[in-house]
């Protein structure tokens, strides 16, 4: 098994539809021990049964918008998992009203919220995780095509994801001397809690299944398997990269529509 004997933290599981959950399942199936983290007490009820499926301890609550809370969370993590072989960051948020209409109308506080939680939280988590990381550990985050293209209604989240992808490159350089790898998966549209907030999400799914080279929608399982690969030693020479897991949609010309 590719992750036999490895231990990892997975931030951002909200329910059974979360991409973080699919990565957690794939990692566990490949032999890893997994510790989940949730954004608040309100998520514990839904996520605890998922943790039980993985034979995982009680999820750690971590509010990534608060540095002190992150420090406290990692103190708890260290008690349960003093050495960490991989970290998955699958955290993003924005005000619902910012994910419709024009990017031009983004509010100052909406911009700050999206970038603080969706982008800066990766840096904050990596900083606290550094002391626990084993040599040759792997860090993985999740992005989307809106980071490099203007996707209608994705708006401020696209800007946040662009910053996230830039952070991957800078963190890869910072961690490189210690052998720690940092990568991102840019997943196609998958029905998750966060995706449902984007206006026109169903249209994006409909377009992909006819316009992508594989002529189907990407699944959570697709993302989980790709994530497991990047977390494993099989990706030992890969860092600072964004891997597209979208059935090839990102390679197609912009004029393709679901009527094609």
User: Is 154 designated active site?
Assistant: yes
Q: Does position 144 have pLDDT exceeding 90, yes or no?
A: yes
Q: Is residue 62 part of a domain?
A: yes
What is the per-residue pLDDT for 155?
A: 96
More confident position, 128 or 100: 128
Share of the chain residues as helix, strand and coil, in percent rounded to the nearest 5: 50, 15, 35
What is the per-residue pLDDT for 194?
A: 58
What is the per-residue pLDDT for 177?
A: 98
What is the per-residue pLDDT for 49?
A: 96
pLDDT bin (cut points 50, 70, 90) of residue 200 is low
DSSP state of 120: I
pLDDT digits (tens, 9 = 90+) for 106-136: 999 999 999 999 999 999 999 999 999 999 9
What is the C-alpha separation between 251 and 115, in angstroms, rounded? 27
Q: Does position 259 have pLDDT exceeding 70, yes or no?
A: no
DSSP state of 244: E
Q: Does position 258 have pLDDT exceeding 60, yes or no?
A: no
User: Average pLDDT of 40-58?
Assistant: 94
User: Which range among 127-136, 210-219, 226-235 shows the weakest confidence by mean pLDDT?
Assistant: 210-219
User: Average pLDDT of 151-169?
Assistant: 96
Q: How far is CA 218 from CA 78, 134, 244, 246, 260, in A?
A: 35, 32, 11, 5, 19
Beta strands 242-245 and 7-11, pairing class: unpaired
Q: How many domains does the chain have?
A: 1
Q: Is residue 184 part of a domain?
A: yes
What is the per-residue pLDDT for 190?
A: 83
What is the per-residue pLDDT for 210?
A: 87
User: What is the torsional sign of CA 179, 35, 188, 98?
Assistant: negative
Which of 120, 144, 244, 249 is flagged as catalytic?
A: 144
Q: Does position 83 have pLDDT exceeding 80, yes or no?
A: yes
Q: Is residue 32 part of a domain?
A: yes
What is the per-residue pLDDT for 206?
A: 77
pLDDT bin (cut points 50, 70, 90) of residue 170 is very high
Q: Left if phi > 0, otherwise alpha if psi is -120 to 50, otherwise beta: which for 153?
A: left
What is the per-residue pLDDT for 242?
A: 98
Q: Does position 253 have pLDDT exceeding 90, yes or no?
A: no
User: Average pLDDT of 142-162?
Assistant: 95
Q: Is residue 255 part of a domain?
A: no
User: Average pLDDT of 80-97?
Assistant: 97
Q: Does position 257 have pLDDT exceeding 50, yes or no?
A: no
pLDDT bin (cut points 50, 70, 90) of residue 3 is very high
191: helix, strand or coil:
coil
Structure tokens at 86: 């991989």
Which of 17, 103, 120, 154 is flagged as catalytic?
A: 154
pLDDT bin (cut points 50, 70, 90) of residue 255 is very low
Q: Does position 85 have pLDDT exceeding 70, yes or no?
A: yes
Q: Domain containing 99 — which CATH number?
A: 3.40.50.720
Task: State which residues form the domain around 194.
Answer: 7-246
What is the per-residue pLDDT for 213?
A: 94
Q: Is residue 251 part of a domain?
A: no
């Amino acid at each position: 098994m590719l992750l036999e004997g490895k231990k990892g933290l997975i931030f951002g599981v909200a329910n059974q539809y979360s991409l973080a959950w699919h990565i957690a399942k794939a990692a566990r199936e490949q032999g890893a021990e997994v510790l989940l983290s949730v954004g608040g007490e309100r998520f514990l009820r839904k996520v605890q049964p998922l943790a039980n499926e993985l034979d995982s301890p009680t999820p750690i609550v971590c509010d990534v918008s608060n540095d002190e809370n992150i420090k406290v969370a990692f103190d708890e993590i260290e008690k349960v998992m003093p050495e960490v072989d991989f970290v998955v960051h699958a955290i993003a948020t924005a005000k619902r009203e910012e994910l419709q209409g024009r990017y031009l109308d983004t509010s100052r506080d909406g911009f700050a919220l999206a970038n603080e939680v969706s982008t800066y939280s990766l840096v904050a988590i990596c900083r606290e995780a550094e002391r626990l990381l084993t040599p040759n550990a792997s860090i993985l985050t999740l992005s989307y095509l809106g980071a490099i293209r203007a996707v209608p209604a994705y708006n401020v989240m696209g800007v946040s994801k662009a910053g996230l992808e830039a952070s991957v490159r800078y963190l890869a350089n910072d961690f490189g001397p210690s052998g720690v790898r940092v990568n991102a998966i840019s997943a196609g549209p998958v029905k998750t809690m966060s995706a449902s907030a984007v206006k026109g999400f169903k249209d994006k799914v409909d377009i992909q299944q006819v316009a992508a080279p594989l002529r189907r929608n990407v699944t959570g399982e697709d993302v989980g398997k790709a994530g497991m690969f990047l977390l494993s030693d099989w990706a030992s020479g890969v860092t600072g990269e964004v891997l597209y897991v979208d059935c090839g949609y990102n390679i197609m010309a912009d004029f393709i529509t679901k009527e094609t």
